[in-house]
Amino acid sequence: MEQKNSILDRVFPHPFVSVIVALSWLMLGHSAEAFDFIVAFILAIVIPKLIQPFIVRTPNIHWILAIKLMFIVIWDIILCNVKVAKQVLGPTKNLHPKWYRVPLESDHEQVNSLLAMIITTTPGTVSAGIDQERGDILVHSLSTDDPEADIQEIKNRYEAPLMAIFSVNQGDLV
């Protein structure tokens, strides 16, 4: 295990987690009093230290690409909410639910888990499970006329950027 050199690294072993913890505390408290900032600061130090043994390694992430993907996913969630609302409120004869499998290009755990999460959070689709042996994700779509087009959209819109974010080449193993 590598030794942390600076005091800042020892106090904040996972700075991103510290920021998330502090901001979460302040937002949940709906307060900006001095006491709340002190508690947020203390939690931002203590919680990352407590979870440090459980974080085996933090992957190198291309943050600019991750932020771009985040905006794409948020935009897709907004659009899909409108689309699903129209489908659900419309005649049921227009719904064409289907199950299909999205083949995975990589065995990278973070890429595949995040891809399944993105599929599930986008209204109208749910990932039912990742099958590592088959190398695919089972997806249920509320309504689709062309599962192959949906598969290609998932791969191009989400999987390819996720692989770029984690610097994963096609077929890489974890």
CA distances 77 to 37, 119, 137, Å, are 33, 10, 19
Secondary structure letter of residue 169 according to DSSP: P
- For the CA atoms of 108, 112, 115, 120, the dihedral, rounded to the nearest 10 degrees, stands at -160
Per-residue model confidence as pLDDT tens digits over 115-132: 999 999 999 888 888 888
d(CA 36, CA 32): 6
Number of Cβ within 10 Å of residue 77's Cβ equals 13
pLDDT at 14: 76
Rg from Cα positions in the chain = 20
Name the residue type at position 49: K
CB 36 within 8 A of CB 29: yes
Residues 100, 139: contact at Cβ < 8 Å? yes
Q: Which residues pair with 139 in a beta bridge?
A: 100, 127
* Amino acid at site 122: T
Residue 100 has a pLDDT of: 95
Give me the pLDDT at residue 2, please.
47
- Between CA 112 and CA 104 the distance in angstroms is 7
Per-residue pLDDT, 110: 87
**Share of residues in the chain with pLDDT > 70 (%):** 93
pTM here is: 0.70
pLDDT reported for residue 174: 42
Q: Three-state DSSP class for 170? A: coil
Ranges of residues in the chain with a pLDDT under 50 are 1-2, 4, 173-174
